[in-house]
Amino acid sequence: MSGGKLRQIPTRAFGAEPGIPDIRELAGWVAERRGMQGDLTTYLLARSLSPQKETAITAPCAGGKFYRNRLIGCLLGLDADTVVAEIGVDAEPVIADAIETTKALRGVSVAMPAPHLLGITDSYYHDDDEWVHAIAGAYRTLMRSMRDAGCGGHVLICDHIDEQETEALAGRKVFFFHPAPGREDLEILLEHQRQVAVPRQDVKTVISLAEEYEISGIVIMDPDDTAIRAALESLDLSRITAGGYCTSDCTAYWQDLKASAVCRI
């Protein structure tokens, strides 16, 4: 494509899944932090963020599905993965994560699995509405505690869009992210948030929903020129963001995302 001015599109991360390190790598990290507290989740938070920081992602986000272990550890009323008493929270571990993560990069967001991805079995409430109310309340407390400690916001990673969860937790500082949403998922999301993230092949699906829902912007995951052009047919460039969620070699991944987030207009 020739002619026009080359414009950089803002980039937004929705977390990463760095994978479990080998013993030598983890031992080296522990040695560097002598005298400081931390565990495997602390390490993975740092690993998920550092390549984004190096690549200068516009809106970076630490965390990922791996953050489940931390959340489970913060929830009171569980026996293993089963709810056996009223849900409560111990927010101190997530507060420590927020403090450490924002020291590395001020105001960074944190991604975590949405409640339905925790894999918890309810043996206490025996009522879907009561269970959702309880776990949503716990999430709100944990996320608010992290924001009070400097976290810029949260991404809730989903494998489907649960309407009760979305209604209970969506907000200005909470973004529901489904890596491959269907049309019905998008419709539920757009009832509660004005921006959605979609794979590049689904840009036109989102555009087709603009007559029914107010859409302030679109995040195109791993965009290419075709997807960006399709979005530009209906949206101003200022309303388009290039999104990323890394599940492989993250240094190369974020570099590639940055390189793809351009448009000549």
Q: In this predicted model, what pLDDT tens digit does every residue of 75-132 receive, in sequence order?
A: 999 999 999 999 999 999 999 999 999 999 999 999 999 999 999 999 999 999 999 9
In a domain, 1, yes or no: no
pLDDT, position 33: 76
- Looking at the structure of the chain, the number of domains it has is 1
Q: Are strands 174-177 and 154-157 parallel, antiparallel or unpaired?
A: parallel
H/E run at residue 217: strand 217-221
In a domain, 137, yes or no: yes
Task: Give yes or no for a contact between 182 and 205, defined as CB atoms under 8 angstroms apart.
Answer: no
- CATH number of the domain to which 236 belongs: 3.20.20.210
The mean per-residue pLDDT over the stretch 17-42 comes to: 81
pTM of the model: 0.94
pLDDT, position 37: 77
Kindly indicate the confidence band of residue 24, based on its pLDDT and cuts at 50, 70 and 90: confident
Structure tokens at 150: 């400097």
Q: Are strands 82-89 and 75-79 parallel, antiparallel or unpaired?
A: antiparallel
pLDDT, position 2: 52
pLDDT surpassing 90 at residue 264: no
In a domain, 177, yes or no: yes
Identity of the amino acid at 199: P
Range in 13-22, 156-165, 181-190, 192-201 the model is least confident about: 13-22
pLDDT surpassing 60 at residue 1: no
In a domain, 246, yes or no: yes
Strand, coil or helix: 14: strand
In a domain, 136, yes or no: yes
**What are the angstrom distances between the C-alpha of 9 and each of 12, 189, 249?**
10, 23, 22
Domain with 192 in it: 6-264
Closest alpha carbon to 138 in 169, 108, 182, 93: 169
Kindly indicate the confidence band of residue 3, based on its pLDDT and cuts at 50, 70 and 90: low
In a domain, 67, yes or no: yes
In a domain, 14, yes or no: yes
pLDDT surpassing 90 at residue 178: yes
